[in-house]
Amino acid sequence: MKQKLTILIGLTVAALALAAAAVAGTVTATATATVTGAGSLGLTHGATASISDTLDGSDQSASYTVPLSVTDARGTGAGWNLTITSTTFTDSSSHTLATTASTITGVTSACVNGGTCTNPTSTITYPLTVPAATSAPAAVKLFNASANTGMGRFTITPSINVAIPGNSYAGTYNSTVTVAAVSGP
């Protein structure tokens, strides 16, 4: 009986030791990742836009694009918008095109270099007249990224048509187009 009790006690101690070893091998750790936004919304542009047209007596339309690079590295999901304004197309002899000559017909957006982005969701409808005057008037929204969209780096490309009346003077016309990136949709 004593031998059975000793074996029973020995088996109980061994079982408790195995159970304690199994519990002693389990740990819980907390992993923390701190992600810091760069704190900025950036905008750059590509090449200078130009158009050419040959007068034939009829009203015509010529178009150009303005490739823009937008970076939202703020990490806030606040959204953003692009605004546009311009001066009137004027030649060296003070001939002008109409203040309503430029119209945005559409805008494309793409994530740069296949990176990870949250594609912008824009609520702007087209066509959209680009405001113009001798001095640039108040800007209008040309594209926006609704809240929680537009995070990352994008190429935004507006297509702009310029109306050229059949009775225009021949010459080189210039306009200063100003695009800005503004926080909030």
**CATH code for position 64:** 2.60.40
Does residue 45 contact residue 19 with C-beta atoms inside 8 Å?
A: no
How far is CA 16 from each of CA 6, 22, 27, 39, 47, rounded to the nearest angstrom?
15, 10, 19, 56, 76
The secondary structure element, H or E, covering residue 160 is strand 152-164
Q: What is the pLDDT of residue 138?
A: 97
Give me the domain span that covers residue 116: 41-48+56-183
Q: Is residue 144 part of a domain?
A: yes
Position 2 in a domain: no
Q: Quick check: is 35 in a domain?
A: no
11: in domain: no
What per-residue confidence (pLDDT) applies to 81?
A: 94
pLDDT at 107: 96
Q: What is the pLDDT of residue 45?
A: 81
As for how many domains the chain has, the answer is: 1
Residue 1 within a domain: no
Q: Is residue 136 domain-resident?
A: yes
Burial 89-121, CB ≥16 within 10 A → b, else e? bbeeeeebbebebbbbeebebeeeeeeebeebe
Residue 142 within any structural domain of the chain: yes
158 within domain boundaries: yes
Q: Which stretches of the chain score pLDDT less than 50?
A: 5-8, 11, 13
Residue 132's contacts (CB-CB under 8 Å, 6 or more residues apart) are 85, 86, 87, 88, 89, 99, 100, 101, 102, 175
